[in-house]
């Protein structure tokens, strides 16, 4: 029986410079989309796949992440007394999960952030989720990736076809098609220019990794931008084992910068049970006004 993946690492120690000044003293991962902080979407997505243990990599000014996933005695008592059961259930919906927090120290890159979780993960395979990539809650990307991992017993990363003009923002793969949406990866390039990109398949923020990646991290030196790049580590890992890429064709919201964040907010608000109706009317109204101008 293969060992199930039950741990996820959520790097959240970055500086969030694309959101300044909002992120000067507050974490980007806590910016709310509709009524939940961004990072909660990633936790709920993992929980649906049976993940129960979360290692969140934090840094300076990130204390509110810990508070958010902790119990809030005074608030709970207040809601109980007022009979606000629905809200009480909502704030307690993730109480059964385990959270551990590790500080990165300096934001030296994604590989460096993930490396910090080694003592918690030990010899298990694990998921990594970047919370500013929000996967539509109706999609099953992470579960699909886990199933590939269980079949192949190899690391799997999520890919998306992106327009050539946007390719310079991503890590990009060179790979051979294995089946419908599955590629065996031959190489990866971090943020290539349009001409230098080996394909239009960009890496997005979901990974299933095997524990041997930690030995690779130990041997790394800083890459592009002076950071320890995960892309470089993956390039090293394919020297001794296969790495697969799964092409995601569903809806992803890239909420890592201001425009993407606003688009995600609008789309998810239109899907939200609580406010979709009123919000839809507002959007129609404002669109009419914009068309007139
Ligand atoms: P990003 O590059 O999107 O986030 O990293 P950032 O660095 O915070 O934002 P910008 O680019 O300055 O605007 C993706 C995720 O990885 C985490 C970030 O917190 C984010 O959730 N990260 C990044 C770390 O935990 N440590 C790092 O050294 C870098």
Closest by CA position to 157, among listed 192, 181, 131:
181
Mean pLDDT, residues 47-61 = 95
Half-sphere exposure of residue 28, counting CA atoms within 13 Å on the CB side? 22
Phi/psi of residue 223, nearest 5 degrees: -115, -140
Asked if the structure places residue 258 within a domain, the reply is yes
Residues with Cβ within 8 Å of residue 249, at least 6 apart in sequence: 160, 181
* Residues 29-45 pLDDT 10s: 999 999 999 999 999 99
Asked if the structure places residue 62 within a domain, the reply is yes
**CATH label of the domain that carries residue 197:** 3.90.550.10
**Rounded CA separation 196/236 (Å):** 20
Which amino acid residue places its CA nearest to atom 2 of ligand 1?
14
* Residues 120-173 pLDDT 10s: 999 999 999 999 999 999 999 999 999 999 999 999 999 999 999 999 999 999
Domain coverage including residue 242:
7-292
pLDDT of res. 1: 55
Residues with Cβ within 8 Å of residue 171, at least 6 apart in sequence: 188, 189, 190, 191, 202, 203, 229, 230, 231
Asked if the structure places residue 1 within a domain, the reply is no
Mean pLDDT, residues 172-196 = 94
Percent of the chain scoring above 70 in pLDDT: 99
Q: Within its chain, how far is the Cα of 151 from the centroid?
A: 23
pLDDT of res. 104: 96
d(CA 110, ligand 1 centre) in Å = 7
pLDDT of res. 224: 83
* Paired strand residues for 33: 36
* pTM of full prediction above 0.75: yes
**Rounded CA separation 207/220 (Å):** 19
Asked if the structure places residue 29 within a domain, the reply is yes
Asked if the structure places residue 188 within a domain, the reply is yes
**Rounded CA separation 124/126 (Å):** 6
Asked if the structure places residue 99 within a domain, the reply is yes
Residues with CB under 6 A from ligand 1: 11-18, 28-29, 57, 104, 107-110, 112-113, 130-132, 256
Summary mean pLDDT of the chain: 94
- The DSSP letter of residue 4 is P
d(CA 158, ligand 1 centre) in Å = 18
**Rounded CA separation 240/237 (Å):** 6
Asked if the structure places residue 66 within a domain, the reply is yes
Please state the atom number of ligand 1 nearest to the C-alpha of residue 19: 13
Burial (CB < 10 A; 0-12, 13-18, 19+), residue 259, is exposed
d(CA 179, ligand 1 centre) in Å = 32
Asked if the structure places residue 2 within a domain, the reply is no
* Residues 234-271 pLDDT 10s: 999 999 999 999 999 999 999 999 999 999 999 999 99
Mutate to test the pocket of ligand 1, among 9, 11, 14 (most ligand atoms within 8 A of CB): 14
Split into its structural domains, the chain has a count of 1
């Amino acid at each position: 029986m293969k060992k199930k993946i039950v741990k996820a690492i959520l790097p959240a120690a970055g500086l969030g410079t694309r959101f300044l000044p909002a992120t000067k003293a507050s974490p980007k991962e806590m910016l709310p989309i509709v009524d939940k902080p961004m990072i909660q979407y990633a936790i709920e997505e993992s929980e649906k796949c049976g993940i129960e243990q979360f290692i969140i990599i934090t840094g300076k000014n990130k204390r509110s992440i810990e508070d958010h996933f902790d119990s809030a005695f005074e608030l709970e008592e207040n809601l109980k007394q007022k009979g606000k059961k629905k809200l009480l259930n909502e704030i307690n919906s993730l109480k059964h999960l385990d959270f551990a927090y590790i500080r990165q120290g300096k934001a030296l890159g994604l590989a460096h952030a993930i490396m910090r979780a080694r003592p918690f993960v030990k010899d298990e395979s694990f998921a990594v989720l970047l919370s500013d990539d929000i996967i539509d809650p109706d999609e099953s990307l992470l579960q699909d990736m886990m199933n590939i991992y269980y079949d192949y017993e190899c690391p799997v990363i999520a890919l998306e076809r992106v327009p050539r003009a946007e390719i310079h923002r991503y890590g990009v793969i060179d790979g051979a098609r294995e089946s419908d949406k599955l590629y065996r990866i031959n190489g990866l390039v971090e943020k290539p220019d349009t001409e230098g990109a080996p394909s239009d398949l960009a890496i997005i923020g979901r990974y299933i990794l095997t524990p041997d990646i930690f030995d690779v991290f130990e041997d790394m030196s800083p890459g592009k931008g002076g950071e320890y790049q995960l892309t470089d580590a993956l390039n090293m890992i394919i020297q001794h084992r296969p790495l697969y890429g799964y092409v995601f064709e569903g809806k992803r919201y890239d909420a890592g910068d201001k425009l993407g964040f606003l688009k995600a907010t609008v789309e998810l608000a239109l899907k939200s049970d609580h406010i979709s109706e009123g919000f839809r009317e507002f959007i129609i109204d404002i669109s009419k006004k914009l068309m007139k101008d």
